[in-house]
Structure formats: C-alpha cells, structure tokens
C-alpha cells in the first residue's frame, strides 16, 4: 500500500520509516524545504538511535521518499497520516490545532482517490470530527474515512516501540476505515501485536489518559522521594517494593527532577483544558502539573544547598552533566535542566555543561550556560558536579579524575545513578534524591 505521511518531524519520520521497513511505499511530506533537502542528503532532523540507517536502507530500497508537494505525495495513497505538531497554544494551554486543520483542508483540495485520513498527531477529543467536517466542506467526490491512530513512542526507543508495540489503538467509525488500517498494520497483526479498535473519540482520549497516568506515576514517586529524605527511608527500595505489585508495576517509578519532553507537559495541560471545557475536572492531573512545575526549581535549590546555601552560592561554579529531558534524544522541550540552570543563575552561580546530543539545541535556550566539549572539561574548576540526565556516559565517570579536576568534591546526583557508599568512599560529599 502507498502511505503518505504529512509531517516529517519526530512522529512522522519514525512512523514513515518503520512503515517503509514493513514493505509499504511511503512518502514523507513536509513544508520545510530545508528539512526535505537534508533528508535527501541523509541528514536526520532529530536524534533517534538507529533512525539514520533505517531511513537510508529504505530510501535505497525505493520504499521511502520525501517531498514538499502534498498533492503529489498523497496521489494514490490508501492511507494519509497527519503527523504535524500540536503545541500548547500560547495563553490558554489548549492544543494548537491550526497545523492539523490546515493539512486537512489541503488534503481535501488535493485528494485524487478514495483514502483514509489518519490523525497520528496527539489531538484533543473531537478533533477527528472537525477533520471530517473540513474534508466534507472541500467537496471532494472521493470516499474518505477519518481515523484516529495515536502514537505511543518513547524518544530514544521509538523504532523498537513502533515495531514491537504494547498495543495499536485505532479509532474508526466505519468499516472502510477499519479495513484500510488492518492492511496498514498487517505486518504487526501477523506478529500478534494487540490491535484495539474503538470509537474515534475514545481513541483520542486514550492517548491523553495514558500520558497523564504515566506523568502521575512519576510525580507520585517524586513526592514519596521527598518524604523519604525527611523520614530516613530509601526511595529506590520503596519503588522496588511497590513496583513488585503487578497492579502497580515497576516502570515510571524512578525519582528524579521531574518530567519534561514533548508529550507529558503538553498533553497533561491539554487534558486539563478538555476537562474544563466539558465541566468534568480532573483534580489529580491538576495537582500533577503543579507539583511537577515546582519540582524543577526545587532541584535547583537542592544544588544550592549542596553548595552551602543560597547566600554562599554566588560566584561559585556548577558543572551540569546532561541537559536533554531524558537520554538518547536531543529533545530539550520542558527539560528540567532549563529550570535548574535558571535557578542557579538567579543565585549568581556560574554554569558549565556537557550533553552528548543536546547542546546545539540547548545553547539558545540556556544562554547563561557555557557548553563544554566533554564531561571532564565541564567539571574542571567546578564547586559542584550535578548529574541532570542519566546518559550512559555519566554512569561510570572516573571519580578520581573528577575529584582532581573539580574545585570541591561535591556530587549532586538528581537521577540516583550512583551507589552512595561508593561515591562517599571516593571522598565526595554526595547528594541524591529520596535517599539519606
């Protein structure tokens, strides 16, 4: 089947490349000419492990191509995916659907055959209804079904998530839409990946509900971590103890500086706005958003405490290791590192930093931070070293070298990747999250 993927960002490019790898003929479409030019040259617009080789292999095989011409790209496509951005709208927090609506209008004006239009973008409940209305207004004579097919990709593990999914959710209102989507996902269906067919509005809500629940788990264990510090307990042991209960599960119970990224902050806020519009408040999610926002600054204050307090921090230097919101991505959106750095800068602290993939994107977002070529260059002369993101390269630092380079042997581990006894035995003043 020919598949058109409108939007060649994180979701669109990963999904398009994986569909091509399944044997479909895929065209990725984007208005950004420079992005398409770079893709033609084999340059990825995002960092995702394995994506460059996946794209290269399928371009070489003739199954994956790129264009800025939507009419040309969707011609003959049985499934047309909308995978454009839906950022939080400035001022009210609602998801900005202007890109989705614009694409729907252009599809309606350009359609040359029967097709299923699939919203892959994360969209509020009822968006599929609006897309259907826009397509109907275009006056196209062709049969069109509008389907919701939310993505559940983790940055840094997106290809594996796409090819070996926990579930595939498809929201369709007619048999034509369901039939085409079965063909689209036939390679995974044969591998017995669970496919859940539901109504379109249900599918749209599943995506938001899933992300809000995961954000809640993260925020819950972070608050338990604060309590552990007060009572002298170990949050990692608490997480292990409750995670063994299969009703709870061990995932997303890692205490840290708060969640960030492209999904959780945006999607929890959009869910709150949807609930507000329908006069059905979700109080737990409201609390999650507030607690997570305040936590990022609190982690900056934790670093100031390790420096001896706010009043003595001015003029001192901190080395931040890791800037992206999680490892194996270059995504800086809502990264805790931004708030931590701002808190330190407000206290008059000088900041150096290193991140394996995120520094180019981080630099304009964090003008107060001096980027360094490697972790040890960032550490040299620092009064404290702070691990903000748990990249593998930081898990086995040469502590003897760190101690020699740093001005003071202070290590603040916001991801709990080190054993406290080992670090203290190496002569460091060690601070972690939710542990004595």
- Is the separation of the CB atoms in 411 and 385 below 8 Å? yes
- Is the separation of the CB atoms in 422 and 400 below 8 Å? no
* Alpha-carbon dihedral 229, 231, 236, 237, rounded to 10 degrees: 170
State phi, psi for 358 to the nearest 5 degrees: -100, 0
- Between the two ends of the chain, the Cα-to-Cα distance in Å is 57
Question: Which tokens in the block code for residue 80?
Answer: 């047309």
Pairing mode, strands 64-67 and 317-321: unpaired
Whose tokens are 């669970």? That residue is 194
**All residues at 6 or more sequence positions from 12 whose CB lies less than 8 Å from its CB, including other chains:** 5, 6, 28, 30, 81, 83, 84, 120
Catalytic residue among 18, 28, 228, 263: 263
CA separation, residue 110 to residues 103, 163, 427 (Å): 10, 31, 67
Question: Which tokens in the block code for residue 426?
Answer: 């190496």
In the annotation, is 263 catalytic?
yes
* Alpha-carbon dihedral 129, 90, 365, 85, rounded to 10 degrees: 10
Question: Which tokens in the block code for residue 414?
Answer: 């916001």
Instruction: Starting at the earlier edge strand, list the strands of the sheet with 369-371.
Output: 369-371, 350-354, 317-321, 384-387, 410-413, 429-431
Whose tokens are 């006894």? That residue is 421
CA pair distance 169, 151, nearest whole angstrom: 8
Which of 337, 340, 333 has the alpha carbon at shortest distance from 299? 340
Which of 185, 216, 209, 343 has the alpha carbon at shortest distance from 275? 209
Q: Which residues are catalytic?
A: 263
């Amino acid at each position: 089947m020919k598949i058109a993927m409108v939007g060649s960002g994180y979701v669109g490019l990963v999904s398009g490349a994986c569909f091509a790898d399944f044997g479909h003929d895929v065209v990725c479409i984007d208005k950004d000419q420079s992005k398409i030019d770079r893709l033609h040259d084999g340059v990825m617009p995002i960092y995702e492990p394995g994506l460059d080789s996946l794209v290269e292999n399928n371009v070489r095989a003739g199954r994956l191509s790129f264009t800025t011409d939507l009419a040309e790209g969707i011609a003959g496509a049985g499934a047309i995916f909308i995978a454009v951005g839906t950022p939080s709208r400035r001022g009210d927090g609602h998801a900005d659907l202007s890109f989705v609506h614009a694409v729907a209008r252009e599809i309606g004006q350009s359609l040359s055959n029967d097709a299923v239009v699939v919203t892959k973008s994360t969209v509020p409940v009822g968006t599929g209804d609006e897309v259907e209305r826009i397509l109907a207004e275009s006056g196209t004579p062709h049969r069109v079904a509008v389907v919701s097919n939310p993505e559940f990709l983790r940055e840094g593990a997106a290809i594996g998530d796409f090819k070996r999914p926990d579930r595939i959710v498809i929201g369709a209102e007619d048999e034509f839409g369901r039939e085409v989507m079965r063909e689209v996902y036939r390679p995974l269906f044969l591998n017995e990946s669970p496919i859940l067919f539901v109504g379109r509005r249900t599918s749209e809500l599943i995506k938001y509900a899933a992300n809000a629940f995961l954000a809640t788990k993260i925020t819950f264990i972070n608050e338990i971590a604060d309590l552990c510090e007060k009572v002298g307990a170990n949050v990692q042991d608490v997480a292990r103890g409750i995670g063994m209960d299969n009703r709870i599960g061990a995932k997303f119970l890692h205490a840290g500086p708060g969640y960030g990224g492209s999904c959780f902050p945006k999607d929890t806020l959009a869910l709150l706005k949807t609930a507000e519009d329908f006069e059905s408040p979700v109080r737990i999610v409201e609390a999650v958003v507030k607690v997570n926002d305040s936590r990022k600054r609190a982690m900056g204050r934790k670093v100031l405490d390790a420096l001896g307090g706010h009043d003595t921090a001015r003029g001192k230097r901190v080395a931040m290791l890791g800037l992206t919101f999680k490892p194996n991505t270059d995504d800086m959106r809502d990264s805790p590192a931004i708030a931590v750095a701002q808190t330190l800068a407000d206290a008059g602290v000088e900041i150096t930093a290193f991140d394996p993939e995120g520094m180019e994107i981080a630099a304009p977002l964090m003008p107060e931070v001096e980027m360094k070529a490697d972790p040890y260059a960032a550490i040299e002369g620092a009064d404290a070293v702070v691990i903000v993101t748990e990249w593998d390269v930081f898990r086995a630092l040469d502590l003897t070298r760190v101690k020699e380079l740093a001005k003071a042997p202070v290590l603040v581990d916001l991801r709990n990747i080190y054993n406290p006894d080992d670090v203290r035995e190496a002569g460091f003043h060690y601070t972690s999250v939710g542990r004595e």
